[in-house]
A and B are shown apart, each in its own frame.
Chain A
């Protein structure tokens, strides 16, 4: 068990190191560097100034030397400054992570709760009207473009009804403005997420209900409630937990589109702004952080699986 975790940690470290190098290379291929932008922004700066500034910031060095400088700094916890926010990149990301979690945690709990419930109910009576409805919801959920759902909700709640703001971070302190601005992106993510949970749960439950001990329990006169919740659900829970962990990790950066639609200052939107705004330090750190979250979640899912399922431990 400890060896497994150790091995996975080493693998994750290698993946992150390769990713950081690949991203560094790609960022070097993006249009314009900060000096170009400074020149474009101030007509008094000439070619000489540009060369001087490049030397000052080390941008005249070859790419490998620059990567080495960044990597040695990063290993000591020094990730550089964000160009867009004029703050240390790590500080910017801290705020973004908090905003992301405020959005993702409730959305994940809601979508998992509703989705798993729907999946269990559907699996209890396959081919019933409820099962059919759940199937349609699940199918629609995977086919729905997230940004379109977001725009439709804006049209309904912000344009037509005028109940909620169309987006942006909370404009006033206090819990009410916070909730009002959080409501639509959260609803979007919940609707999209619950489709996946319902689909997975339904499939896992139907498989679990086909196991031989279910028939035995039935023959011994156990109630349906006990069979579904006591016997089948624990067996179905193993794949669902895995899906939930990976899903949440993907959302940390994958809510990017929803965050972009609603201008919510979370991780996803920060990554997007950083990449498009030539904010190298921030983009690199944000990408690495979201990759690290994903890798950690898949490890956590494996450990949870060990905890839930005694058969895997053997």
Chain B
């Protein structure tokens, strides 16, 4: 980000405020074990004598249906939701950029095949298909079932299956226009290899577009993770994520309505913040696009 872009970003007050909010949530998530030690509770240990306790000094937000501290579970859930959101957006961006560059460079049949695949994926209803993917039993593919890291990797991959498409189309379109410019043609004429042309000349000019597009998808990805976890197909309890906390809370909404309010509030705040940051980055890195939009 050069100086002027930075200035433009700072001019977008909502985006700047969002950076601070996200930093605060991330810091609180990282500090979750410290908070747990300070409060003296274990967020994974049920205590059936303390179900649905109201907010108190010992439990700042009260307890959930198994008597676990809600604040601590929110903070541990933040780790999962933020990590999945960021990593899935990153993986989608990497796959999308690679596919887009390959399609633009090789053209012909490969380009046609990749773009038809992209069209097909965009044309299909994604949510039911994501559920089919999420319902696949890893044991039938010879993979371990139930390991925590595997759960996280699985949901990231499932989201990436549909996530790469938009980045790939954007990367392909930009790469095609860059490859027609004189400096790229000169590099090809001088005998530079395909990899060198793409890495040295195309990728740097693509970075801004891809960054903006990916940042704008982080919010949608966090929403998607929460939906899948809410439906019982994403992050599995006892590991908390904001989505699966809401699933537990919905069944008991008559007994403890507030337990359903907090996780949703966290999702909402986080998604609003990432969307604002995406807007701010779009203004800062891509000022012409902003003029067209406004």
- Chain A residues in the interface with B (C-beta under 8 A): 15, 18-19, 23, 26-31, 139-140, 142-148, 151-152, 154-155, 159-160, 166, 203, 206, 249-250, 252-254, 256-257, 260-261, 268, 271-272, 275-276, 283, 286-287, 290-291, 293-295, 298
Annotate B256-279 by CB proximity to A: 1 below 8 A, 0 otherwise: 010011011001100110010000
**Residues on the A chain within 8 Å of B136, using CB:** 26, 29-30
Contacts A147-B246, A152-B261 given; indicate if A249 touches B253 (C-beta within 8 A).
no
**Contact: B128 with A290, CB < 8 Å?**
yes
Given contacts A145-B230, A151-B264, A254-B127, 12 further A-B contacts (CB under 8 A): A31-B137, A140-B272, A148-B267, A151-B250, A155-B257, A203-B293, A253-B128, A256-B128, A257-B230, A268-B128, A275-B131, A287-B132
Kindly state the separation between the CA atoms of A253 and B249 in the bound complex, as whole angstroms. 24
Contact assessment for A151 and B249 in the assembled complex, using a CB-CB cutoff below 8 Å? yes
Q: Does B190 contact A (CB under 8 A)?
A: no
Shortest Cβ distance from B233 into A: residue: A276
Residues of B within 8 A of A (CB): 120, 123-125, 127-129, 131-133, 135-137, 139-141, 219, 223, 226-227, 230-232, 246, 249-250, 253-254, 257, 260-261, 263-264, 267-268, 271-272, 275, 293-294
A31 to B135, CA, bound (A): 8
A257 touches B124 (CB 8 A): no
Is there contact, CB below 8 Å, between B123 and A298?
yes
Report the minimum CB–CB distance from A289 to chain B (whole Å).
10
Question: Do B125 and A29 have beta carbons less than 8 Å apart?
Answer: no
- Beta-carbon nearest neighbor of B122 in chain A: A298
Given A29-B140, A275-B135, check contact A151 B253 (CB 8 Å). yes
Q: Binding site of B, secondary structure by majority: helix, strand, loop or mixed?
A: helix
Question: B120 to A15, Cβ gap below 8 A?
Answer: yes
In the complex, the answer to whether B272 meets A166 with C-beta atoms within 8 Å is: no
Cα–Cα, bound, A276→B134 (Å): 10
What residues of chain A lie closer than 8 Å to B263, measured between beta carbons?
A: 148
Determine whether the beta carbon of B264 is less than 8 Å from that of A142.
Answer: no
Find B223's partner among A145, A254, A276 (CB 8 Å cutoff). Answer: A145
Q: Which residue on chain B has the smallest CB distance to residue A126?
A: B294
Closest to B14 in A: A139
Q: Is the CB of A23 within 8 A of B132?
A: yes
B63 to chain A, nearest CB (A): 18
Task: Given A166-B253, A287-B132, check contact A151 B124 (CB 8 Å).
Answer: no
Assembled-state Cα–Cα distance A30/B223 (Å): 25
Instruction: Please measure, in the bound complex, the distance between the C-alpha atom of A298 and the C-alpha atom of B264, giving whole angstroms.
Output: 33
Q: Is the CB of B139 within 8 A of A31?
A: yes
Query: Which interface residue of B230, B246, B261, B294 has the most chain A CB atoms within 10 A?
Result: B230
Which residue of chain A has its CB nearest to the CB of B228? Answer: A257
